[in-house]
Amino acid sequence: MLTPSYVAQQVINALNIGSIYALVAIGLTVVYGILRLINFAHGDMMTVGAYVALAALTALAMPAVAALLIAMLVVSALGIVIERLAYRPLRGAPEVAMLITSLAISSLIQNGATMTLTAQPRPVRLPAELTQRISALGLSFAVMDVIIIALAIALMVALTLFVQRTTLGIAMRACSENVRVTQLMGIDVNRVIAVAFAISAGLAAAAGVLWTGKFGIVDPFTGFLPGLKAFVAAVIGGIGNIPGAMLGGYLLGFAEVFFVAFMPPEVSGYRDAFVFVLLLIVLLVRPSGLLGAREVNRA
Amino acid sequence: MKRLVPLIPIAVVMGLAGLAQSALNDYYQRILAVIAINVILAVSLNLTNGYSGDFSLGHAAFMAIGAYTSAILTLPVRMKAVVLPDLPPWLGQVELPFAVAVVIGSGLAALVAFIVGIPVLRLRGHYLAVATLGLMVIVQVIALNWQPFTRGARGINGLPPFTTLLWAYGWMLVTIAVIWRIVHSSFGRAMMAVREDELAAACRGVPIFRTRLLAFVCGALFASIAGALWAHLITAITPSSFSFLITFNVVAMVVIGGSGSITGSVIGAVLMTLLPELLRRFETALAIGGQPLYGLSQIVVALMMLGVMLFRPQGLMGRRELPEVLAAMGIGVPTRPSRVEAAGEKTAQAQTPG
Amino acid sequence: MSRISGFRLLTVSITFAALAAACAAPPPAARPPAQPQEQPTAPAAETIKIGALYGVTGGMSSIDAPGLNGMKLAAKQINAAGGVLGRQIELIAIDGKTDQTATTNAASEMINVHKVVAIGGLNDSTFALAAGPIAQQAGIPFVTAGATLPTLPEQIGDFFFMAPFGDDAQAYAIADYAIDDLGAKTAYMLVDQAYDFTTALAKFFKERFTGRGGTIVLEDIYKSGDTDFSAQIAKVKALNPQPDVLFISAVPSEAGLTTKQFRDAGLTQPIISGDGFDTPLIAEVAGEVADEVYYSTHAALDNPDPKVQNFVKAYTEEYGRGPENAFAALGYDTLNLIADAIKRAGSADPKAIRDALAATQGFNAVTGEITYQEGKRKPNKSVTIIKVQDGKYSFVKEIKP
């Protein structure tokens, strides 16, 4: 059973799913870093992105790349609007207040989609050149799988460069160190936070399009579970930290795939429990995640 | 004489519960029972999330422990032989009264909370939130896989419908009374001191870890009672009964009512139980073009959660309790304003982002 | 400060209370007067209220919503034809929200507030086991439209009826089909661990398949909500020799997902399953790779039988799209079955309806003939085998019990 090609195939599988988790986790982390907000509606932004792309693909017959860009743009705009209406008024309130509003937003998106679009899952069909299979050395994967990994890494690199090199990116990092001091330095904090939300939502949309494109299906609850898992991934890596979120996403992908791949079914039923035990161990050994900086005691 | 004052509301509530039990139809009794269960959940979650300042998302895990324990212990032996034939004989042969099963379940939940709490409570803030969320997933996965005890996905059904209004409201009063006493004792003040400023609390000799752990264990204990009551109200439990949705609902109750106020938790629980139920009637009544608006009640509840958070982020009650509000309006018995709470109000408002 | 915010607090609470009071207005008043305009004879006759209990929102909605549509269609047709016993049928449809508390509340509200004489609906045993006992306790007949756990009627009691066949029947049918028609000797099993339905189906399949000399070469699991099956698939691909058939015990949301991923990965053996696979999603998601998929279910919508075609036509006219899955037909059958029992009972008394239901013989439903044998409240219906080929669904075989 444990032939090299079997192991290699499972590594490819893990990289694939891990890339998407990593994308979602990064989006969460960007916002968390600045606002200390666990955004439970983040996964639902994936769902919205997927529906927008689906509409662009089918109703407007757009090419896949255009559909992806449209979805990212629309959802980024939605992210800014939501931040303005639901999170900005809450700055300065207790941390959990924003967490609760994000739960409310999540419920709004899920039930709004159920009401207007029905809960019937919809098929997402990508052009044939994307779903084509490649078989080599006993391995098998789709063109889409390669694109997922490449696009995820490209987006992550772009984001890292943005945060490291641009003024706005530096302002974002400054905000995540200390919002008030940043403000005193003459930086328009509102703009920085709006940009962070736009980036976060755009990444979620991209992940949503990749996810539904890979699996071929979307319904109003599509993003919720990946969103929650990505949250775990972000915490494992050290929430608020971009490389950490990436690492966490890939670790989660590997843990999920390998647990099924190398354990008998009697044991693999405990997969989700195992993932969380792993999380607990990581947190206990390194309380701020694998790559997280030690958090200053914020009393 | 004054010491007897608290007995009056207790007598009134139990009297009303007894009256309702004999006069109301099953539907209204059911709603009232759900309210009582939700009050227990919200008030007990408030102990950690509101008072000791540890944000927990694991309440459903302790509910599940209470529900499964009580289900296994109270199921008639004859049924158990059919439903759970693989139970060890010492469990298969017992059939305990409801109250005993509830107490054992809560003891078990408290024990689990104690064992889990020792490592997990080393974490703070959102890390603790994820860890407790993880606890819930772990309990769910165990319920799904531990076939001889839980029957896996099939769950346990046909539970005796023990949860009457008297039981539900009786346990609710016990919960409120015990937690009220805890919060207004020196231990409660220790909890709030830890929440407000750990360093200062430690300097004054408050045992930080022990205080937080005890709050967590107490919360778990009462959550387990609510779980058992719920199990014997619905009469069928499966692992998926104890999901994120329940936890989120309870968290919303606490936050809407006001973290750090028992009165607030009660109000939050009542509102969040009644509103969806009442709004559901509009879904069919407001049918547009003959198409009922299913999902409307969830949307309105979500909008109201948003509204409360935006206009009153500290929750409806903030950190005040009923007697203080009454006193502020010039009604009722004046109570000593607690210094810690007054201070808490101020810091909550002074908190800044980041 | 404390006084002012006390005041604000009070206003907020009063708004809530006012809103709550407004909602608490008794529902019959809020509901527009039911449709008694064209009642033929007795103008004063009250409507017969029947509960339609489905999880129209939440996880079950993709199969429960079509079920409710089926029930509504049946009610409309019955009423257009003059109703039952000269009275119109009024469906009391309350959303169970795919939540046990909400579902039990809804059942209780139907019985105690709306005074329904019977309830139909629910497609999953988790919810049927919670709501059924409430109807049983109140002496109101409950017909489950699509929950297929065979022991439901015994577990809940003599007021509980099943409109569909049991999981045992459909699992045996597909196992027999795999052995007799597909020539399978070995099988791979992938089982969703999260549902009662999927685990029971797998258990019965395994029992029959191995009982008839077949071998299960590998048994694997997943949990509903999983979307990525690549790890499980790689395990199957590593098998040598390959299994003859792939049995996948899944609910509709994972039916399309698994088919697509198994086929994409190059596994070409027949995929077999039960009525969880009865969803257009297989063809929609898997597209041209949806080949050699066989499943057992309640009805074939391309069955030329006029009763099936009339239903498909009426449903399409009413909702502007064809029936989404067999659960639409089951909902339709459920209400017709209840109406038929009321007619035969000659009364809308719950007890009389129960007795008439129990005596149902050869009721001609879209999903096959329903007969309740002496003391049994689960029909011995025929099982239909459907094949998906090139993304098209076609009827292959009807297996009579």
Span C358-394, pLDDT tens digits: 999 999 999 999 999 988 899 989 899 999 998 888 8
Q: Is C15 on the interface with B (CB under 8 A)?
A: no
Q: How far apart are alpha carbons C328 and C69 in whole angstroms?
A: 7
Give the residues across from C369 on adjacent strands: C364
For range B313-320, the mean pLDDT: 84
Name the closest residue on chain C to residue A127, using Cα atoms.
Answer: C287
Q: What is the pLDDT of residue C23?
A: 42
Q: How far apart are alpha carbons C57 and A119 in whole angstroms?
A: 7
The answer to whether A105 contacts B197, with C-beta atoms less than 8 Å apart, is no
**Both tokens of residue C39?**
């009642």
Neighbours of B77 (CB within 10 A): 10
| A280 chain-B contacts, CB cut-off 8 A | 119-120, 131, 134
Q: Would you say residue B44 has pLDDT above 90? A: yes
**Both tokens of residue C126?**
């988790």
User: Which range is least confidently modeled, A17-26, C30-39, C242-251?
Assistant: C30-39
Residues 6+ away with beta carbon under 8 Å from C382: C368, C369, C398, C399, C400, C401
Report the share of chain C in percent with pLDDT over 90.
63
Q: C175 falls in which pLDDT band (50, 70, 90)?
A: very high
Q: What is the pLDDT of residue A294?
A: 55
Q: Would you say residue C129 has pLDDT above 50? A: yes
| B138 chain-A contacts, CB cut-off 8 A | 272-273, 276-277
The answer to whether C5 contacts B318, with C-beta atoms less than 8 Å apart, is yes
Q: How far apart are alpha carbons C13 and B267 in whole angstroms?
A: 9
Report the share of chain B in percent with pLDDT over 90.
45
The residue among A111, A120, A210 with the most chain C CBs within 10 A of its CB, best to mutate, is: A120
Same domain, C48 and C177: no
Q: Where are the domains of chain B?
A: 2-261
Q: Is residue A231 part of a domain?
A: no
Neighbours of A200 (CB within 10 A): 28
Q: Determine the 3-state secondary structure of C37 from DSSP.
A: coil
Q: What is the pLDDT of residue A287?
A: 75
Same domain, C153 and C190: no
DSSP string across C103-155: HHHHHHHHHHTS--SEEEE---HHHHHHHHHHHHHHT--EEESS---TTHHHH
Q: What is the pLDDT of residue C37?
A: 43
Name the closest residue on chain A to residue B144, using Cα atoms.
Answer: A269
The residue among A5, A9, A124, A272 with the most chain C CBs within 10 A of its CB, best to mutate, is: A9
Query: Looking at per-residue confidence, does B6 or B147 come out higher?
Result: B147
Q: Would you say residue B350 has pLDDT above 70? A: no
Same domain, C262 and C315: no
Q: How far apart are alpha carbons B333 and C133 in whole angstroms?
A: 47
For range B264-288, the mean pLDDT: 83
For range C48-64, the mean pLDDT: 88
Q: Is residue A275 part of a domain?
A: no
**Both tokens of residue B298?**
């969830």
| B302 chain-A contacts, CB cut-off 8 A | 104-105, 107-108, 111
Q: Is C304 on the interface with A (CB under 8 A)?
A: no
Stretch (H or E) spanning C89: strand C89-95
Q: Is B291 on the interface with C (CB under 8 A)?
A: no
Report the share of chain B in percent with pLDDT over 70.
90
For range B67-93, the mean pLDDT: 90
Q: How far apart are alpha carbons B127 and A239 in whole angstroms?
A: 9
For range C226-246, the mean pLDDT: 92
The answer to whether A221 contacts C221, with C-beta atoms less than 8 Å apart, is no
Q: Give C247-277 pLDDT, tens digit per residue.
A: 999 988 888 899 999 998 889 999 999 988 9
| C114 chain-B contacts, CB cut-off 8 A | none
Q: Give B238-257 pLDDT, tens digit per residue.
A: 998 998 888 888 988 998 89
Q: What is the mean pLDDT of chain B?
A: 86
Q: How far apart are alpha carbons C131 and C105 in whole angstroms?
A: 8
The answer to whether B310 contacts A272, with C-beta atoms less than 8 Å apart, is no
The residue written with tokens 């698994």 in the block is: C258
Q: Is residue A238 part of a domain?
A: no
The CATH number that applies at residue C152 is: 3.40.50.2300
Neighbours of B79 (CB within 10 A): 16
Q: What is the pLDDT of residue C18?
A: 44
Same domain, C394 and C246: yes
* Axis-axis angle for helices A4-35, A242-262 (nearest 10): 150
Q: Is residue A266 part of a domain?
A: no
pLDDT in tens, chain A (299 residues): 678 888 988 999 999 999 999 999 999 999 988 888 888 899 999 999 999 999 999 888 888 899 999 999 999 999 999 999 989 888 877 777 788 889 899 989 998 998 888 777 888 888 877 878 887 777 878 888 899 999 989 998 999 999 889 999 999 888 888 888 888 888 888 999 999 999 999 999 999 999 999 898 898 988 988 998 898 899 888 888 888 999 999 999 999 999 888 888 878 888 888 888 888 888 888 877 788 765 544 33
Residue C338 contacts residue C140 (beta carbons within 8 Å): no
Residue C235 contacts residue A268 (beta carbons within 8 Å): no
| C198 chain-B contacts, CB cut-off 8 A | 153
Q: Which of B141, B314, B354 sits opposite A178 (nearest CB)?
A: B354
Q: How far apart are alpha carbons C166 and C196 in whole angstroms?
A: 13
DSSP string across C205-264: HHHHHHHTT-EEEEEEEE-BTB---HHHHHHHHT-SSPPSEEEEE--HHHHHHHHHHHHH
The answer to whether B154 contacts C223, with C-beta atoms less than 8 Å apart, is no
Residue A44 contacts residue A205 (beta carbons within 8 Å): no
Q: What is the pLDDT of residue B238?
A: 92
Same domain, C279 and C360: no
Angstrom CA distances, A155 to A27, A202, C41, stand at: 11, 10, 71
Q: Is residue A188 part of a domain?
A: yes
| Dihedral sign (CA A37, A41, A46, A50) | negative
Give the residues across from C84 on adjacent strands: C87
Q: What is the pLDDT of residue B118?
A: 92
The residue among C95, C191, C227, C253 with the most chain A CBs within 10 A of its CB, best to mutate, is: C227
Same domain, C257 and C192: yes
Buried b (16+ CB within 10 A) or exposed e, A56-79: bbeeeebebeebbbbbbebbbebb
Q: Is B305 on the interface with C (CB under 8 A)?
A: no
The answer to whether B122 contacts A284, with C-beta atoms less than 8 Å apart, is yes
Q: B287 falls in which pLDDT band (50, 70, 90)?
A: low
| Dihedral sign (CA C36, C42, C45, C50) | negative
The answer to whether B236 contacts C129, with C-beta atoms less than 8 Å apart, is yes
For range B76-98, the mean pLDDT: 88
| C51 chain-B contacts, CB cut-off 8 A | none
Q: Would you say residue B349 has pLDDT above 70? A: no
Q: Is residue C378 part of a domain?
A: no
The answer to whether B313 contacts A228, with C-beta atoms less than 8 Å apart, is no
Q: Would you say residue C15 has pLDDT above 60? A: no
For range B318-340, the mean pLDDT: 69
User: Whole-model pTM?
Assistant: 0.86
Q: Which of A131, A216, A221 sits opposite C256 (nearest CB)?
A: A216
Residue C279 contacts residue C252 (beta carbons within 8 Å): yes
Q: How many domains does chain A have?
A: 1
Q: How far apart are alpha carbons C216 and C221 in whole angstroms?
A: 14
Name the closest residue on chain B to residue C113, using Cα atoms.
Answer: B27
Q: What is the mean pLDDT of chain C?
A: 86
User: Which range is least confidently modeled, A122-131, C165-174, C237-246?
Assistant: A122-131
C59: nearest Cα among C108, C123, C11, C121? C123
Phi, psi of A289, deg, nearest 5: 85, 170
Angstrom CA distances, B27 to B24, C105, C283, stand at: 8, 7, 43
| A257 chain-C contacts, CB cut-off 8 A | 228, 230-231
Same domain, C318 and C395: no
B 23-82 residues inside an 8 A Cβ radius of A = 49, 55
Same domain, C276 and C210: yes
Domain B2-261 has CATH 1.10.3470: yes
The answer to whether A119 contacts C193, with C-beta atoms less than 8 Å apart, is no
Same domain, C73 and C196: no
**Both tokens of residue B129?**
């939130």
| A9 chain-C contacts, CB cut-off 8 A | 234, 237
Name the closest residue on chain A to residue B348, using Cα atoms.
Answer: A94
For range C288-314, the mean pLDDT: 89
DSSP string across B86-120: TS-HHHHT----HHHHHHHHHHHHHHHHHHHHHHH
Q: What is the pLDDT of residue A283?
A: 82
Touching A: which chains, 3+ CB pairs < 8 A?
Answer: B, C
Query: Looking at per-residue confidence, does B234 or A265 come out higher?
Result: B234
For chain A, the straight-line distance linking the first and the last C-alpha, in angstroms and rounded, comes to 54
Q: How far apart are alpha carbons A168 and A182 in whole angstroms?
A: 12
Q: How close is the nearest chain A Cα to the Cα of C237, in Å?
A: 9
Q: What is the pLDDT of residue A281?
A: 87
Q: Would you say residue C69 has pLDDT above 90? A: yes
Q: Is residue A196 part of a domain?
A: yes
The residue written with tokens 């258990």 in the block is: C203
Q: How far apart are alpha carbons A147 and A139 in whole angstroms?
A: 17
- Per the structure, the complete domain to which residue C190 belongs is given by 168-297+385-399
B 265-284 residues inside an 8 A Cβ radius of A = none
Q: Would you say residue B73 has pLDDT above 90? A: yes
For range C212-221, the mean pLDDT: 94
Q: What is the pLDDT of residue C270?
A: 95
Q: How far apart are alpha carbons B344 and B196 in whole angstroms?
A: 7
Residue C52 contacts residue C315 (beta carbons within 8 Å): no
Count how many Cα atoms sit within 13 Å of the Cα of residue C280 in the half-sphere of its side chain. 14
**Both tokens of residue C53?**
């209990």
Q: B319 falls in which pLDDT band (50, 70, 90)?
A: confident
Name the closest residue on chain A to residue C57, using Cα atoms.
Answer: A114
Touching C: which chains, 3+ CB pairs < 8 A?
Answer: A, B
Residues 6+ away with beta carbon under 8 Å from A74: A48, A49, A52, A205
Q: How many domains does chain C have?
A: 2
- Per the structure, the complete domain to which residue A38 belongs is given by 14-222
Name the closest residue on chain B to residue A265, using Cα atoms.
Answer: B145
Q: Give B58-68 pLDDT, tens digit per residue.
A: 999 999 999 99
Amino acid at B282: F
C 223-282 residues inside an 8 A Cβ radius of B = 223
Same domain, C84 and C148: yes
For range C190-195, the mean pLDDT: 91
Q: Would you say residue C281 has pLDDT above 60? A: yes
Q: Is C199 on the interface with B (CB under 8 A)?
A: yes
Question: C241 preceded by cis ω (within 30°)?
Answer: yes
User: Which range is least confidently modeled, A8-17, A88-97, B181-190, C208-217?
Assistant: A88-97
Q: How far apart are alpha carbons C151 and C164 in whole angstroms?
A: 12
